[in-house]
Amino acid sequence: MLKSERNFQHAANAVIGISGLVYFWMLYLIDGANDFSILNHPWQDAVRNCHLVLAPLLVFGVALILKNHILLKIRSKHRGRGRVTGYLLCALFLPMVFSAYLLQIASDETWQLIFKYAHNSVSFLWISTYLVHQARIMRK
């Protein structure tokens, strides 16, 4: 994998992960200062919009490393340090992306709730697995 591809992947994960965690914090973990507002934080909409607009960068980043990193490691039956976390990231990627997409287009409240829980849980797993994957690789 090229250094530029690696840097892009790290930057995309950082931007999307941080904006997602900040949005989760604003949405679920703080109480709004104003009882008449539907927002818990004045920047809540801006953070959500940032997360939604920049999320395709992560999809592009994974597509960028698909041939020269992911498929190369799978085909070579790689036995290195990041093998298990790499496979887990591969398994988590599509559920994370599709649950995010379906969350945006679902009109029924039940389905919105299902996709919200799915996206949040898979995304937390993605972030933690990505961090472990990087830590295991850097320990060489």
The residue extents of the domains of the chain are 1-68, 79-140
Counting Cα atoms < 13 Å in the Cβ hemisphere of 33 gives: 4
Model confidence at 33, in pLDDT bands (50, 70, 90)?
A: low
pLDDT digits (tens, 9 = 90+) for 16-28: 999 999 999 988 8
CA distance 116 to 102: 9
pTM equals 0.87
